[in-house]
């Protein structure tokens, strides 16, 4: 974006200062898009977190839209379309941006499908029932009436095997939706902060926020 939106490529940008202002606007809106997608996937409503990246009027208009990430991506497309001219060289630049925005739509759609696609109750019931059957069957197989005595090693082995099956079942249930803001989920807050730091440094800003640190061993 920074290398393409320059006065030499886009005549509508009359000076380097105007180009830098447009670059900052678009990059900040993209940071807002990443954070809006995070909030949307987590069903959080703290949209004021987008305030540092958007003008007040745009943030106010955003409140009326159901899918705020989609609207922000559309704003990027509208802004670029208005900015880029109609000659062939400038249209090539626009096509490059359009391809990137379409990829963002695709990735957003993939995340939203993961979020809203529910596992059937039958799958959950069958997997849990099988785990419990195995957990009950292993001790029976180990400790048959023909045995004269049970060693400590056998007891420990049975406990470890049974717990392993139960832990795997619990982890699969917890990881089926990675956007619930739980300890085992995708650390989207940290990812958004990393993106923000990288993009703001591309603007040569010297005071980007610090990376998100784990709290109690959990990175959110």
Q: What is the DSSP string of 175-209?
A: HT-TTS--TTS--HHHHHHHHHHHHHHHTT-S-PP
Question: Helix axis angle, 121-142 relative to 152-175, nearest 10°?
Answer: 170
Q: Are residues 44 and 133 in the same domain?
A: no
| Mean pLDDT value across residues 170-185 | 77
Distance (Å, rounded) from C-alpha 172 to C-alpha 101? 33
Provide the CA 197 distance to its chain's centre, in angstroms: 16
Residue-range definition of the domain harbouring residue 131: 121-175
Q: Are residues 52 and 128 in the same domain?
A: no
Q: Are residues 143 and 191 in the same domain?
A: no
Per-residue b or e along 140-168, where b marks 16 or more CB atoms closer than 10 Å to that residue's CB:
eeeeeeeeeeeeeeeeeebeeebeebeee
- How high is the pLDDT of residue 67? 94
Distance (Å, rounded) from C-alpha 105 to C-alpha 113? 12
Q: Are residues 80 and 159 in the same domain?
A: no
**161 found inside a domain:** yes
Indicate the pTM of the whole model. 0.81
- How high is the pLDDT of residue 146? 60
The rounded percent of the chain whose pLDDT value lies above 90 is 39
Q: Are residues 76 and 185 in the same domain?
A: yes
How many structural domains compose the chain?
A: 2
**215 found inside a domain:** no
Distance (Å, rounded) from C-alpha 28 to C-alpha 53? 5
Q: Are residues 139 and 46 in the same domain?
A: no
**1 found inside a domain:** no
Q: Are residues 102 and 191 in the same domain?
A: yes
- How high is the pLDDT of residue 33? 97
**196 found inside a domain:** yes
**9 found inside a domain:** no
């Amino acid at each position: 974006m920074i290398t393409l939106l320059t006065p030499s490529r886009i005549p509508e940008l009359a000076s380097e200062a105007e180009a830098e202002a447009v670059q900052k606007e678009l990059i900040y809106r993209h940071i807002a898009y990443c954070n809006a997608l995070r909030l949307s996937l987590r069903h959080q409503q703290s949209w004021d977190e987008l305030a540092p990246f958007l003008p007040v009027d745009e943030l106010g208009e955003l409140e009326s839209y159901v899918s705020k990430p989609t609207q922000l991506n559309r704003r990027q497309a509208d802004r670029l379309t208005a900015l880029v001219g109609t000659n062939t060289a400038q249209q090539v630049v626009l096509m490059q941006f359009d391809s990137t925005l379409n990829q963002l739509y695709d990735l957003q759609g993939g995340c939203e499908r993961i979020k809203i696609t529910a596992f059937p109750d039958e799958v959950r019931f069958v997997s849990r029932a099988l785990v419990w059957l195995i957990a009950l069957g292993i001790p029976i197989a180990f400790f048959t009436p023909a045995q004269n005595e049970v060693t400590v090693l056998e007891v420990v082995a049975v406990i470890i095997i049974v717990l392993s099956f139960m832990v795997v079942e619990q982890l699969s249930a917890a990881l089926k939706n990675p956007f619930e803001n739980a300890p085992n989920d995708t650390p989207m807050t940290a990812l958004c902060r990393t993106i923000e730091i990288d993009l703001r440094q591309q603007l040569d800003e010297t005071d980007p926020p610090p990376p998100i640190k784990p709290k109690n061993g959990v990175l959110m």
